Amino acid sequence: MKKWQIWLIVACTVLACYGSIEADWSKCGRCQNPWYLVKAHTTECPGRSWGMFPLCEECWQKLTPQQRLPYYEEVWREWHDRWGDVRGVSEWDSLKAAVLRGK
Ligand SMILES: [Zn+2]
C-alpha cells in the first residue's frame, strides 16, 4: 500500500467519525433546526473550559430553567456514554446548577 493511500484511509476515517459526532449535536434539541439556521445558546460549565448547547437561543428563551433541564441531561448522558469522565463530563451537578441559575 502506498503512503498516500494510507493517508486517504486515515482522512476518511477521521471525517466519518467527525460526521457522526456532528450529526448528534448539530441541531437544536427542541425545534430540530440545525445550527447554521439558528443560533445556539451555550451554557458554560462552571470551572470548565467546555460549554453545552442543546437548545437554540429562541427555544432557550421560551423555556423555564426547569423545562430546559431535560434537553441538557439528554446531551450530557450522550457525552457521558461516549467519553466517560473525559473532559469532566461527569460533572452533571455543577452543570445542572448552572442551568437552573438561568445560564
Ligand atoms: Zn430551537
Compute the distance from residue 48 Cα to the ligand 1 centre, in Å: 25
Tens-digit pLDDT profile for residues 59-93: 999 999 999 999 999 988 888 788 776 555 557 88
Question: For ligand 1, a single-atom ion, which residues have Cβ within 5 Å?
Answer: 28, 30-31, 56, 59
In the predicted model, what is the mean pLDDT of residues 44-53?
Answer: 82
Residue % of the chain over a pLDDT of 70: 77
What is the end-to-end Cα distance of the chain in Å, rounded? 52
Compute the distance from residue 86 Cα to the ligand 1 centre, in Å: 27
Compute the distance from residue 4 Cα to the ligand 1 centre, in Å: 42
From 41, 46, 44, select the one nearest 57 (Cα to Cα).
Answer: 41
From 91, 60, 71, 90, select the one nearest 25 (Cα to Cα).
Answer: 71
CB-based contacts of 66, cutoff 8 Å, min separation 6: 100
What does the DSSP 8-state code read for residue 39? P
19 pLDDT higher than 70: no
pTM for the model stands at 0.70
